[in-house]
């Protein structure tokens, strides 16, 4: 009997809610959304529409451009190599590795972005510079940053592939040529640093493996014994301070 009363009260409550909802829906109907394509009255409207489409396309590529034109590539690759060398492929996690790399990249690139802001963004917002002048001026500090860490061999490769005249200075190099050369140089530098990080941990693995074989414990994985020693070595030498500090200091003007 008690359960039946509970069911009756619940049914009355549901009916009351539906009644109130129907009353509100009647008073405030759901608005409709229409998408239409109307003919343009003048060529300026067409140009504005094309600019909006172009900006939306650039926004989709913005994360890749920000990553490939900064120090992010070196940071994230070196930290990934470090994680593998220690023997903890899941610690730190990918989110932590990417987060550290992003904040270190922001720290390194802040002088460049401040120069872009003062030279290009502020005059453009004050309507003292056209859109074309803004794009040309904004790319100059970024190209100069990339040129400092781009190997001449890599830059010459893409200049040759692009079949453009030999540039006299960095201002003559198109941004679409220097970006792949910069990425190639950063990959090479990151792999060189990763090799140097692997060497001390590899020595520890070899020593532990030799000791286990001498003791006849060939069935025990060496990584189980060497991991605590590698962690202890990394902590004793203050590895995070050395590695992150050295990578940040490798960028001018730090």
Q: How far apart are CA 107 and CA 253, in angstroms?
A: 12
Q: How many CB atoms lie within 10 A of CB 253?
A: 4
What token pair was written down for 73?
């590539």
The confidence score (pLDDT) of residue 21 equals 45
The confidence score (pLDDT) of residue 25 equals 42
Q: Exposed (0-12), middle (13-18) or buried (19+): which is 170, by Cβ within 10 Å?
A: middle
Q: Is residue 33 part of a domain?
A: no
Distances (CA, A) of 95 to 76, 91, 92, 100: 11, 10, 8, 9
pLDDT in tens, 191-202: 998 888 888 888
The answer to whether 88 touches 227, Cβ cutoff 8 Å, is yes
What token pair was written down for 10?
């619940």
Q: How many domains does one find in the chain?
A: 1
Q: Is residue 170 part of a domain?
A: yes
Q: Is residue 20 part of a domain?
A: no
Nearest-CA neighbor of 237 among 206, 200, 193?
A: 200
Q: Is residue 156 part of a domain?
A: yes
Confidence at 108, pLDDT banded by 50, 70, 90: confident
Q: Which of residues 49 and 52 earns the better pLDDT score?
A: 52
For residue 8, the SS3 value is helix
Confidence at 170, pLDDT banded by 50, 70, 90: confident
Distances (CA, A) of 89 to 71, 79, 174, 225: 23, 11, 39, 16
Q: Which domain holds residue 106?
A: 63-249
Q: Is residue 46 part of a domain?
A: no
The confidence score (pLDDT) of residue 38 equals 56
pLDDT in tens, 172-220: 778 788 888 888 998 998 899 888 888 888 888 788 878 777 777 767 7
Nearest-CA neighbor of 104 among 70, 133, 57?
A: 70
The confidence score (pLDDT) of residue 2 equals 46
Confidence at 44, pLDDT banded by 50, 70, 90: low
Lowest mean pLDDT among 36-50, 115-129, 205-219: 36-50
The pTM (predicted TM-score) of the whole model is 0.70
Q: Is residue 84 part of a domain?
A: yes
Above 80 in pLDDT, residue 96? yes
- The residue-averaged pLDDT of 14-42 equals 49
CA angle 99, 181, 96 (to 5 degrees): 10
Q: Which of 101-110, 131-140, 207-216 has the highest mean pLDDT?
A: 101-110
Query: pLDDT exceeding 90 applies to what percent of the chain?
Result: 0
Q: Is residue 48 part of a domain?
A: no
Q: How far apart are CA 121 and CA 36, in angstroms?
A: 35
Q: Is residue 202 part of a domain?
A: yes
């Amino acid at each position: 009997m008690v359960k039946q009363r509970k069911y009756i009260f619940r049914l009355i409550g549901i009916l009351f809610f539906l009644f109130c909802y129907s009353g509100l829906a009647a008073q405030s109907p759901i608005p409709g959304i229409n998408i239409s394509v109307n003919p343009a009255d003048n060529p300026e409207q067409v140009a504005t529409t094309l600019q909006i489409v172009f900006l939306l396309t650039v926004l989709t590529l913005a994360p890749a451009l920000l990553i490939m034109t900064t120090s992010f590539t070196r940071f994230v690759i070196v930290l990934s190599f470090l994680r593998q060398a220690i023997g903890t492929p899941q610690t730190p996690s990918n989110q932590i590795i990417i987060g550290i790399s992003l904040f270190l990249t922001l720290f390194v690139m802040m002088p460049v972005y401040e120069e872009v802001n003062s030279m290009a963004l502020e005059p453009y917002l004050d309507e003292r510079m056209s859109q074309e002048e803004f794009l040309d001026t904004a790319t100059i500090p970024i190209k100069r940053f990339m040129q400092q860490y781009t190997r001449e061999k890599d830059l010459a490769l893409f200049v040759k592939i692009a079949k453009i005249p030999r540039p006299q200075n960095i201002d003559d190099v198109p941004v679409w040529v220097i970006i792949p050369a910069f990425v190639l140089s950063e990959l090479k530098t990151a792999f060189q640093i990763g090799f140097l990080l692997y060497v001390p941990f590899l020595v520890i693995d070899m020593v532990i493996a030799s000791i286990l074989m001498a003791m006849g414990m060939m069935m025990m994985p060496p990584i189980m014994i060497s991991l605590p020693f590698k962690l202890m070595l990394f902590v004793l030498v203050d590895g995070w301070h050395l590695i992150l500090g050295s990578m940040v200091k490798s960028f001018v003007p730090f």
